[in-house]
Chain A
């Protein structure tokens, strides 16, 4: 990932914006527009699994609005149906004249067709009723499916939010660390060493007050320090020496007001409202300009643990780590 890498002494807004856009492109992978991303997101989740659209009373609503359809009119059609009448004389006349009627067309075919149609109507009505009786079951199944889908959708949404949140936190920490490192690299070495003038060093480690180390400068074995490295017993500091928050202190070490002697605690550096990170990096009486920061190979990092002579309780795991805090 391309980190934001801007020199504080020559800021160019257009360059920063180019870096921001490059970082966005890298994050996104494919350079979708905002509208395209919105469209994709909308199609995948909200269209089908919008929890706001779920009706928890689906079955009740169905029952409320359920209308059982009345049976349609039907008829029975037999071979005598065409000639039926409640008037006996008329029925007799029709029977007598039936052979004459059959001279013109064949009514038996019509009678047969209508008979079949009546049976078909009855059969369909029976099946329709069966279907209506099954509908509540289908609704119940669909209702349960919708609830399950919605629950899953909400769960997926929540998980996605958590992943995004974790990702952004991780990104925040990583970039913040890197940008701080970048800022530190830009600072020129301080004219005065961060160590106190009267600081005692171990053999072979004595430097003049204005002495500086370049970031890549090699140290002698007794002099090399990495973050967390122990200090040799000969490296006692003077009482007035300024320390970074992460340094371990000895039992007789002077502490500022409010600092309990030998008390094990993890001190978190919290940024006060209105305080910049630059302010936070400085000690209370240590306000410096940006150009006065020391290089990483020179400044004692806050994770630079002191030796046993400075360590109050000897438990390094409980000392201040001085790691950048949120």
Chain B
């Protein structure tokens, strides 16, 4: 079997959520099939500037073929177009313009997909919202397997994506909430399975090594990820400062990751920067609890890693996915206000009665659903099923010239707000 993994960026040093997800899947599937990654030369997800050389290379035993991006993203233009399609009544033409503006616009990549459609059994497309997926899937709908990595943000409400979701041969969802979201917005009925992604969990961690290396003495809660307002870090800082006043002997907060947002100077907040995987897992093992303040997540890999190490998670309850996973796993608590944050964090720290129990539940949840053998089996089973079943009809054609320009599409945010929300408990 020959598989093509199509993703916006790819590299051993690229650690974005969907990109890391794609790399893990490509590396794991390469044990079962011949895998080639088709991607762009971009490294930066904001500008999409061509920073990596075009052509082929091998990354961790996986063949990677890169194509140049035609133009970098104009951030102002993208912001204006986003406001138009998310907040105002607009046309399909506006939505396509938004997609072009978002990038990474790589016509060469799309042309290549069209030219090699017969050379691969399936094309696994990552991240529904980008140029390469929308145009690439239109070239090979009968062989397209979509990993949407969709969050509950307005983009999923754009009407151009409905036909995309319906046309994919199979959709590999990250969570039950994501499946409910995409089914709700597109009325998709085809094959699909909730898979998610595993992680490279080390066999042994050494929490004391982290404590010694970074001179961390007190019990602490940990946040791992980009320190950014979009990830909920501003709210986290505000809540934690108030928590520190309420609980003078409570846990400290250790931040791991690159800093985009200024970090408040506080004796109980510690930023240790970007860490290697070894240090990261040591830090996680040393922590009492992982905090996930992000409201927009299709799947939190770091939450799964915390559960894999038997650590409870404190998640933002406004994120349906995280909240649903906490409830289904019985492996973490969630908050929607400061009071809930403080009480839940107090309950979860190591002096509390249930932190360890929740961590154990999370570990079992991870073992049951997110270990690599489980993930790989779900992918290979799906490919086998698709080979047996006949291909679905082609993707819906775009409306005509004038119909595309008719301003009758509702604001995308309004569409998403109208969809049912909340965690999927059962």
Contacts and interface: CB of A to CB of B under 8 A. Distances in A.
A273 B219 contact: yes
Contacts of A164: 245-246
B356 interface: yes
A4 to B, nearest CB: 6
A20 B326 contact: no
25 contacts: A4-B353, A8-B357, A13-B330, A13-B333, A13-B358, A14-B327, A16-B347, A17-B333, A24-B339, A24-B340, A24-B343, A168-B247, A169-B248, A172-B346, A176-B351, A271-B219, A271-B350, A271-B351, A273-B286, A274-B208, A274-B285, A274-B286, A276-B350, A276-B356, A277-B353
**What are the 7 A-B residue pairs with the smallest beta carbon separation, nearest first?**
A24-B339, A34-B337, A179-B353, A168-B246, A20-B343, A8-B357, A276-B350
Chain A, interface SS category = helix
Contacts of A6: 353-354
A165 interface: yes
Given A11-B358, A23-B343, A277 B350 contact: yes
B211 A172 contact: no
Nearest to B344: A20
Nearest to B207: A274
B216 A273 contact: yes
A217 to B, nearest CB: 26
Interface of A: 4, 6, 8, 11-14, 16-17, 20-21, 23-24, 27-28, 33-34, 161, 164-165, 168-169, 172, 175-176, 179-180, 182-183, 271, 273-278, 326
B330 A12 contact: yes
Nearest to B327: A13
Contacts of B332: 13
Interface string B214-228: 001111100000000
Interface string B397-414: 000000000000000000
Contact of A274 (B346, B350, B361, B425): B350
A273 B211 contact: yes
A171 to B, nearest CB: 9
B334 interface: yes
Interface in B200-218: 207-208, 211, 216-218
A326 B349 CA distance: 13
A20 B353 contact: no
Interface string B312-345: 0000000000000011001111100111100110
Given A13-B333, A17-B333, A24-B339, A278 B356 contact: yes
Contacts of B246: 164-165, 168
A273 B334 CA distance: 24
B61 interface: no
Interface string B272-293: 0000000000000110000000
Given A4-B353, A172-B247, 9 more contacts: A6-B354, A13-B327, A17-B333, A17-B334, A28-B339, A168-B245, A168-B248, A182-B353, A276-B355
A102 B356 CA distance: 110
A179 B354 CA distance: 10
Nearest to B247: A168
B353 A8 contact: yes
Contacts of B249: 169, 172, 326
A276 B355 CA distance: 9
A27 to B, nearest CB: 8
A76 B205 CA distance: 99
A169 B346 CA distance: 12
Interface-central residue, A27, A176, A183, A273, by most chain B CB under 10 Å = A273
A169 B248 CA distance: 7
B55 interface: no
Contacts of A161: 245
A165 B247 CA distance: 7
